[in-house]
Copies of this chain bind each other. A is one copy, B any other.
Amino acid sequence: MRLLFIGDVVGRAGRRMLRDHLETLIEQHAIELTVANGENAAGGWGLTPDTAEEIFAAGADVITLGNHWADRKEILPYLDRHPRVLRPLNWPGRPPGRGLAVVEGRSGCPVAVVCLMGRVFADSLLDDPFAAADQALAELAGQATAILVDFHGDATSEKQAMAWYLDGRVSAVLGTHTHTATADERVLPGGTAAITDVGMTGPRDSVIGFRPDLVIQRLRTQLHVTLEVAPGPRMLCGVIVDVDRDTGRAVAIERIRLEDSG
């Protein structure tokens, strides 16, 4: 069966890419389950109930989040009510919401989704993602053979280490957060599909989704420059992981990139 994962959806541009292209992708590839990282869906920062609903309406089955998960206060009560929106499992302090879910796919196959966050270069002090992964797998035992992990982090070393750490124990470890797709998708020897970063779904001519001039200004002045989601052509970055239904092992991973001049 095939799982589709969509990288960080940025602002309205990203949501429109889902609205305009997700159903087609799902049909074309006979996708069993679709997961989208929505941590930048609301104007570039965080997720609101409305933008979450838009992403679900576009065809996603599960929304994962990252460091921006709590940027919008209004999402906190929503998270408690919606078991298919996941914040990082290893966020400290028993926050609202949850970090993993088991969801039925189109054909009724259960698929587990886990949302984890890396700690290297992170602004936040988080619990150990390796320990959290171990606990998640223990908790998921017997509930699903297919397990998809969104590992949201910056450092390529930590993200690749997590992929090797979970190799043979999950179906896929898919990196997010850098908003830049990497060209290293592969199936590791144990049967875990991995990519260091899936990339972004949003404005193409941008610096990780934002207007280049404003990012440059912020870097050069080190002042509070308000970033804006960039205008212009849009792109969608994702991966499709083909998983053996019986064993949960990945058979293949393929990078997807669509562009739309808007």
Q: What is the interface of chain A, defined by CB distance below 8 A to chain B? A: 70-71, 91-93, 95, 119-121, 124-128, 130, 154-158, 160-161, 164-165, 178-184, 189, 196-197, 199, 205-208, 212-213, 215-216, 219-224, 255, 257
Contacts and interface: CB of A to CB of B under 8 A. Distances in A.
A126 B222 contact: yes
Given A95-B223, A119-B125, A178 B156 contact: yes
Given A154-B155, A183-B182, A128 B130 contact: no
A255 B245 CA distance: 34
A92 B207 contact: no
A219 B125 contact: yes
A253 to B, nearest CB: 13
B220 A183 contact: no
Contact of A180 (B125, B184, B199, B213): B184
17 contacts: A92-B128, A92-B221, A93-B220, A121-B121, A124-B222, A125-B219, A125-B222, A156-B178, A157-B207, A158-B219, A160-B206, A160-B215, A180-B196, A181-B182, A183-B183, A184-B199, A189-B205
Given A154-B154, A184-B199, A223-B70, A207 B93 contact: no
A132 to B, nearest CB: 12
Contacts of A178: 156
A92 B154 CA distance: 21
Contacts of A158: 219
A165 B218 CA distance: 12
Contact of A130 (B124, B164, B208, B219): B219
A213 B120 CA distance: 17
A137 to B, nearest CB: 15
A91 B183 contact: no
B128 A208 contact: no
Nearest to A205: B189
Contact of A181 (B121, B183, B220): B183
A212 to B, nearest CB: 4
A212 B212 CA distance: 36
A127 B165 CA distance: 20
Contact of A128 (B127, B199, B223, B224): B127
